[in-house]
Amino acid sequence: MASTELERRVEDRKPLDIYLNKLVGDHPFMVRAADISTTGIYLHKLIEPTLPEGSMVSLEFQLPNSDEVIWARGTVMREAQRWGTEGIGVWFTILPRAFRRIIEGYVAQAA
């Protein structure tokens, strides 16, 4: 996949190197984040099933230097390979305002 196809997100994204829980239905999977914006997150796949575009996932994570656990729901927008690892782009579809503000602060601070 061409790099221009990977750069579809219009919001600023910032590097994020954390492990988080991704729930597919009732099944939790540990995944690793690569970057985040106020509209979505890119996740490296570790050991998990392949999901078609449009699949819904729930996410549970903490940003660095934050005690707040963020809960979000998102849609798989695409599968891609970056840095030699398969991953998925997730667009946040349900993200409470308080959590969005925390992410906005992280993205602004990391700039």
Tens digit of each residue's pLDDT (9 = 90 or more) over 47-59: 888 888 999 999 9
Residue 55: give its domain's CATH number: 2.40.10.220
CA distance 81 to 56: 20
Residue 111 lies in a domain: no
Which stretches of the chain drop beneath a pLDDT of 70? 1-10, 81-83, 110-111
In which domain, by residue range, is 23 found?
3-105
pLDDT at 10: 63
pLDDT at 1: 39
Q: For tokens 């449009």, what's the residue? A: 54
Kindly provide the residue ranges of all beta strands, DSSP E only, lying in 27-110, ordered along the sequence: 27-36, 40-44, 56-61, 70-82, 85-94
**In this structure, what token pair is assigned to residue 45?**
């796949």
Residue 52 lies in a domain: yes
Q: Which pTM was predicted?
A: 0.85
Q: What is the DSSP letter of 25?
A: T
Residue 110 lies in a domain: no
**Per DSSP, what are the bridge partners of residue 51?**
none
pLDDT at 13: 84
pLDDT at 3: 43
